[in-house]
Amino acid sequence: MIASIAQTLLRTYSSTRQHERVDPDQKGLFQNRMEDYAQRYQFAQQYVKDKRVLDIACGEGYGTSIIAPLAHSVVGVDTDIEAITFARERYGSVDERARFVHADALDYLHDLKNTFDVILSFETIEHVADPHRFLALLHKTLKVGGTLLLSTQNKLFSDVFFGGTANPYHVKEFYIAELRAQIKELFHLTPTLYLQGPIAEGAIVSSTLFTFFFRRSKIIQEKAGYSGLNMIFAVTK
């Protein structure tokens, strides 16, 4: 009973303070996670050297700008025209390898096939009404031998602390096994899992609180006895 009340209070607090995008000017527990955001793109740098890269749902382009200097070219796509306008002015104007496109993710992917060497889909699939179709389009758009890096929040975290999804912008959240199975079904091989913000499964509450409050946002490869606040799957077509 007490746990349920605590989850309800946390869910209410969180849902009223969430922002759909990372905003460095917004401070607070549920707003300013720039270090998490940047770390995913820094992690991706090892995959993008001299590659043609797609950054789907790129937002204001900050992450795209992190990988552009290493890539052959990178296309950032987002449905928010203000975000794309900002990205073009701030990052596209200073690096000719970065190009920004205003489009819905599913619409943009629909007519493409075997186009990109690397696709980055960070914190996007949870916002999509048809995640299976989204994954299928990512697979279709990726070149043979290309790599998909896909990250999303771990639903285990939402369940433990909020009693379910608390972010009003999330359509569907995933457990590790659930999303791994869907990726495996499409790619016909098991993706490599990395844990961002690793938490000890034997002490989920205390480990999560420590990781979350003290910004311990390192990324490790899947390890027995650990889960992660976020999961990053890497898979090659």
pLDDT score of 58 more than 70? yes
> Rounded to whole angstroms, what are the CA distances from 201 to 154, 207, 221, 224, 226?
13, 8, 15, 9, 5
**What's the average model confidence in pLDDT over 102-107?**
96
Range of the domain at 94: 2-236
Distance CA 98, CA 111 (A): 21
pLDDT in tens, 31-52: 446 788 899 999 999 999 999 9
How large a percentage of the chain has pLDDT more than 90?
Answer: 67
**What's the average model confidence in pLDDT over 182-210?**
90
CATH number at residue 231: 3.40.50.150
Number of domains in the chain: 1
Which conformational region is residue 51 in: left (phi greater than 0), alpha (psi within -120 to 50 degrees), or beta? beta
- Report the chain's mean pLDDT, rounded to a whole number: 86
pLDDT for position 22: 55
Distance CA 235, CA 60 (A): 26
pLDDT, greater one: 80 or 1: 80
**What's the average model confidence in pLDDT over 71-81?**
97
